Chains A and B, each alone.
Chain A
Amino acid sequence: MSLEQIILAYGMIPRGVIALVAGAALGLSGAILQTVLRNPIADPTTLGISSGAQLSLVLTTILAPDLLMAGRWPIAMSGAVLAAALVMTAGARRAFAPVTMVVVGMLVALTASAIATAVTLAQGEYLLSLVIWNGGSLVQQDWSGVQALTLVLSLGGAAAALLARPLRVLSLGIEGASGLGLNVAAVRLAGIAVAVALAGAVSAELGLIGFVGLAGPALARSLGARSIPERLVLSTILGALILSVCDGLVLIVAGTSGEMFPTGALTGLIGGPLMIWLLPRLRGSTPPGTEAAEGPAPRRDRPMPLLLTLLAMLLAAAMLLVGIGRVPGGWAILDAQSFADFLPMRLPRLIAAASAGAALATAGAILQRLTGNPLASPEVLGVSGGASLGFAIVVYAFAAPSGAMLYAGTMTGGVIALAVVGAYVFRRDMPTERILLAGIAVSSLASAVLSAMMASGDAKSWTVLAWLSGSSATVLMPGALGLLSVASAIWIAAVAGRRWLAILPLGHGVSAGLSLPLRGARLSLILLAGIATGAATVLVGPLSFVGLMAPHLARRFGLALPGLHVTGAALIGALLMTLADFGARMAGFPYELPLGLFASLIGAPWLFWLIMRGQR
């Protein structure tokens, strides 16, 4: 064979075929998940399965590359299974409520990619193979990938055929199905196992290819596929077509402009808009009562001493931590001279970290009260995603951007994302929890664009990657004071809005009965949370979990009334972030870890505890 023939036979044709096979596998996986969970927005991406595979691959590549000698399959598969197990356990505790499942899944996905970023950064190396993998490239050079995926797809197809009937019985509802003698748990487990195996196989072979599993079944439904077998078959075919079309587009762009970007980044782009489109269709698919808030919190009779103690702890921690530090060879307490030298550097950082913590915690408290979802955190509001995107665009658009330009870009991105979510809140009169999904949609769009930039990228990707995990080292006094005033203003506004925060969660009827401007109240609270998140994101990066942890801790301490809850959360958030800042500076001295990253490492175990605990 001539070289051209070899390229055709071992490069181009397998690429075309693998697009079909992988797309079919993802479409089938999504269709099975959606049927089993009765959740029209479930797919391997939104349930965190693909990200689980990603994290395990990143960890293995960096920490134990020898394990990869046996191929990526076992590694990616075990990561996918672990993530799926986590999300499913959480789902089982919450009656598989669709929105909650996806919020859990996206939080798992966010955490997994944050940890993956962290490990890559700490390694101080730009790993080409990881960038390629994160992008999800379909380039082939032999038929081995096609063979492996075809085998998995046929096994998965056979399993789906066997499952079609039990799944139809399951669609009658749990009570009806068990009444007909169906082992509901076994059918669910089998269905999910098949879906995870399909998605994990694609991850192992090609990398992250998002949202095909969401798009295939969605299209199948809108084309009128009613019965379950119809839906499974049509989703599989449409999945194959979608991925092929996307890959075709990538090839056309590569052919005309010479720009190579991975196909997975393109499919990621359709995810965000698709979810926004699907959201209204979610109505009625959730059994009532399944997305309820946590049970009544304990209530403390005299909250003032607690709040004062928290304030005292915050001040004490600030005083203490500003005065000690590490030097090569050991720890040291500053003397007067060094204290005077270091204060101009440490004080802004301390103020900024505490303010960011307070702002995030306030935002978290507002969102959790508003949605009644204990997993609502500023991270899923989309503002951070938009802000990261703004930052990345400035980094790429200008040769040597200044700090002010980066700040402006970040703020603009956050504001646009917030406007999208806000418009959504205003236009559609839907359950507040769905707003979180609009935020998630914006986030996933942002992360798709980011990964496309990284994959086509240059050394600038490094800057973006570093910023994504948060850096507080560069903040100066004016910036710190600005953040402090934003945090204070938001706290005051939230306390002033405590009546809304108390009434809105009680639902439509009550709010209307008390003649509350429902839309206006909701919109202003969401805007408040968004501004707080955006301001903090500039400093901490898009992920920290402080906004998740602090409101919970405040509740557990018995701060039940909205005003007290917000105040307590803000104080706890400030304290947590102050400690995280100290830890980030000291843990790897002289290598300073990014603040957001360090805070996430504290917050992630909390998140998992929260997920696993289920509802009271």
Chain B
Amino acid sequence: MTPKTEERGSLSRRAFISAAGLALAAATSGRADPGGPRLAAIDWAMLETAVAIGHMPVAACELIRFRAESPTPAIPADVVDLGLRGAPNFELLQLVRPDLILISPYYTRYESRLSRLAPVLNLPFYIPGEPPLPKALSALGDLATAVDDTSSAIKAHTRAKAELDAIADELSGFADRPLCLINIGDARHLRAFGFDSLFGSVISRLGLTNAWEGRTRFSFLAPVPIEQLATMPEARVVIVGEVPAHAQRSLARAKLWKALPPVSDGRLYQLPEVNAFGGLPSALRFARVLRDALIRQQTVQL
């Protein structure tokens, strides 16, 4: 259960920590952008934002899980893993000698502690009631200003805009029905992605309607009973991520689930796992996998 990152090293009296620190600094400095500042990302959305403007951080948190959940953006093997986001390893962070530490308001309680090591950039992405995609886009500019490379943000922004416009064009035929984006918890509960989730924010940018629009006050993590889907018979239902094995088994024989119009009429789609609390790269990846699933008519049967 404990993540193992390195093979066990031997206790070597010669392996002085400062030497190791210098080695860390050397190993991670020759890459990405030699001139730019050394970034350390505590928050995943910030990590993605840094990657989007081409400034790969030298260190970031919970990389094991990040790599497992998001095949893109790829994080090079020499980026130092700083441990849990909820409890970053401050000593390792100091060894990495960052020039700028990237966090979001979820980590505000660490801000004073972190600011002793390096300047901290704290940008909001997820605020109840506010769509995150515009915030992810403006974060590009804020971060680029902080690393003194404003052109990178403009480039990333233009590319993202072009890609989203293209996908919106391709998906224009799907505006006839609202989309209902969900994540299956167990056979009786799901959570729905409202307009203030990353995915909800992306589909409204793509010109599609969210079947959950305006339904709940804050609409991502709260589990809702599955029968709520009955109130949107006309929707296309898109499952983001895996369906737990035991839920799959009981959904397959559940009367109510099978009677739901989107399920019985074959309007059920499934996407791979996408980081629901990511930055622009996750938003774009979601848009791509959604386009693929809708256009190739990859409906699923549960």
* Chain A contacts to B: CB under 8 angstroms: 1, 3-4, 6-7, 10-11, 62-63, 65-66, 68-69, 71-72, 119, 121-126, 128-129, 131-133, 137, 139-142, 144, 258, 260, 325, 327-335, 337-338, 341-342, 344-346, 399-403, 406, 455-459, 461-463, 466, 471, 473-474, 476, 587-594
Contact = CB atoms under 8 A, between A and B. Distances in A.
B259 A587 contact: no
Interface string B61-98: 01011000000000000001111111111111011000
Contacts of B220: 458-459
Among B87, B191, B259: residue with most chain A CB under 10 A: B87
Contacts of A457: 221-222
Contact of A588 (B2, B86, B127, B245): B2
Contacts of B6: 328-330, 589
Given A6-B255, A131-B223, A329-B20, A588 B183 contact: no
B216 interface: yes
A63 B2 CA distance: 12
Contacts of B4: 588
B302 to A, nearest CB: 13
Contacts of A399: 105, 127
B245 A142 contact: no
A69 B246 contact: yes
Contact of A591 (B84, B222, B253): B84
Contacts of A592: 83-84, 87-89
Nearest to A143: B255
A591 B64 CA distance: 11
Interface stretch (B108-116, B203-211, B287-295): B108-116
Contact of A463 (B18, B86, B222, B257): B86
Interface residues of B, number: 84
Given A260-B223, A476-B113, A590 B81 contact: yes
Given A338-B21, A400-B105, A590 B189 contact: no
Contacts of B142: none
Interface string B264-300: 0000000000000100000000000000000000000
A246 to B, nearest CB: 16
B185 A333 contact: no
Contact of A141 (B9, B105, B254): B254
Contacts of A4: 230
B128 interface: yes
A74 to B, nearest CB: 12
Nearest to B185: A128
Nearest to B86: A466
Contact of B226 (A66, A128, A141): A141
B26 interface: no
Among A71, A400, A590: residue with most chain B CB under 10 A: A590
Given A6-B255, A590-B81, A128 B94 contact: no
Contacts of B13: 333
A473 B191 contact: no
A141 B20 CA distance: 58
Among B20, B253, B254, B257: residue with most chain A CB under 10 A: B20
A315 B21 CA distance: 28
Contacts of A406: 109
Contacts of B91: 325, 342, 345-346
Given A327-B17, A331-B12, 12 more contacts: A3-B230, A68-B245, A69-B249, A128-B189, A129-B246, A137-B225, A334-B16, A457-B221, A463-B106, A466-B87, A589-B89, A590-B92
Nearest to A145: B188
B90 to A, nearest CB: 6
